[in-house]
Each structure stands twice: as C-alpha cells, then as structure tokens.
Structure 1
Amino acid sequence: MAPRPQLPALTAERARALLIYNPETGALNWRIARPGIVSGALAGTRTSEGYTQVEIDYRLYKAHRVIWLIMTGKWPAHQVDHKNGMRADNRWKNLRAATPLQNARNRRPGKRNSSGRIGVTQTASGRWQAFIGVDLQNRVLGIFDTFDEAVAARRAGETEHYGEFAAQSLEAAE
C-alpha cells in the first residue's frame, strides 16, 4: 500500500477562502459549499472536551487555532487561551496567545478538587489553607479560619503572580 501523500499545512489564505469568521459572535461558517454542506452553514463540531473542531482538507483543526490563523495571518507560537475558560467561546475578544504554563493557570478545578477552588484546601484541623504554584514550587499563602479568607488570599496570589492569566475571570462564567 502506497503511503498517503503529505498535505501542505493550512495557510491563512486557504482558511480565508474556505471560511467566514465573525469576531463579534465567534461563529465560523463555510464560505463555499462542500459535499453535504451548504454555503453559510456553521463550520465544525463540538469535541468531548468542549472545543469546536473543523475539518479542512481531510485534517482536523481546533477552531480557535484556525481563527487565530485567519485573524493574524500566522499560526500561534504556542497555544490559544480562552480568557473566560469557556472552550466553545471563540469570540476574538476572548482569545489570546499563551504559553502552555499561562494556559494552565487559567483553568477550572479538577473533578477530585473537594473545595471547588484551585489552591484552597481544608486542613485536618478544619481550617483552610491557600497555596499557589510559582517557579515550579508550591508556596503557602496562609492558613485561615474561613474558606472565604483562603479564597481571597488565593485570588490576591493569582493577581500578583499570574497577572492577566489569573483564573479569576472564570468566576464570572460560573
């Protein structure tokens, strides 16, 4: 069996020829008809992780990366972060370039997180501890009598150490 020919990488020109992007709504629509798809139809499908993906020239791409290519003319150097943490919200004002570390800072608590807040845990004595990861080390921000005090300390730590990539914007989305 002959090897599959290597397809050229998607270019901004090709993406713009195939797709229409609305930066205000984040909608990505087909500019031209495709087999089984009419011109103007919404492009892409939702993945199990909540991202929108689009198939172009037999390859799957995450829609937010294609949008970055369309808007800037080049692929992102690393990753594209959704500021509000909502993976399907592809409005231009919600997208920003991020390193993997910056992108990881802007996340929701995992399923095993019992407090509901990243960096806040209850101690064996029933008090609340706040901590933050900086320079590959966990730094304790303090031990507090109430959950709200620990959350406030974590928020302050995120603002100080993470800047615009602090996960505080996720609270508005909840």
Structure 2
Amino acid sequence: MKPTAERVRSLLYYKSYELKEPFVWQTWLGDVSPRSGTHEDGYLQAEIDGTVYPADQLAWLIMTGEWPAHEIVHADGNKLNNSWNNIKEKAPLAKAA
C-alpha cells in the first residue's frame, strides 16, 4: 500500500521552487534511516517505509494530495529537475475509434 500524502509530508519537506535539491528529509526522524538517490535511469528516488518511489511522483503527491494517475513528465527534459513548475502528468493517448 502506497503511503499517504500526510505520511510523505511527515518524512520529506519539498521545496517546490528548488531545481537542484527540492527534497529535504525531516530532521526529527530518529531511528528511521532515510535513503534516497538516483535510479539507473537517471531519475531521483526516495525510499519510504521500505519501498522506493520516484521523486517526481512524491512531489506530485505532496503538492496535490493524490498519487499521479498517469506518468509524470519533466517539461525541460531534465530528469533531476523535480521543481513543481517543471513536472506534469502526461495525458493518456486517446483510443482510436
């Protein structure tokens, strides 16, 4: 089960305007070992409750309160730029009639 927006917000602070390092782990975590890094495909990711999630999806969740329904795309093509004005949901392709 995916974590709620409330759970993710309790672990991560998202600086929606920041290009290089938009996520900051909350300092009170204590014995929780925050893990994050770059996936082999070049996207940022973070581990929440034992499961790794793409950072762009976490940003979407934090800002909207919902997990994205579709793929997240980066407007500038930079996989590491997870600033809010750079990510959007990719509209699904319409089915041919």
TM bucket (normalised to shorter chain) is 0.7 to 0.9
More helix by share: 1
Partner of 2:5: 12
C-alpha distance in 2, partners of 1:99/1:50?
22
Query: Which of 7, 26, 29 matches 1:33?
Result: 29
* 1:26-58 CA-partner distances (Å, limit 9, x unpaired): 4111113354858xxxx6201121100100000
Residue 91 of structure 1 and its aligned partner are, at CA, apart by 0.7
Aligned to 1:98: 90
Unmatched tracts of structure 2, length 5 or more = none
How many pairs does the alignment contain?
91
1:1-150 maps to which residues of 2 (within 5 A)? Answer: 8-26=1-19, 27-31=22-26, 32-35=28-31, 44-99=36-91
Return 5+ residue gaps in structure 1 as ranges: 1-7, 102-134, 136-174
Q: Percent identity?
A: 37
Give the aligned residue type for 2:82.
N
Alignment TM-score, normalising by the size of structure 1? 0.48
Larger Rg: 1
CA RMSD after TM alignment: 2.1
- Post-superposition, which runs of at least 4 consecutive aligned residues in structure 1 deviate over 2 A? 32-38
- Higher RCO, 1 vs 2 (CA within 8 Å, ≥6 residues apart): 2
- Specify whether residues 77 and 44 from structure 1 end up closer, same or farther in structure 2 by C-alpha distance, changes over 3 A only: same
CA pair 84-18 structure 1, distance change in 2 beyond 3 A: same
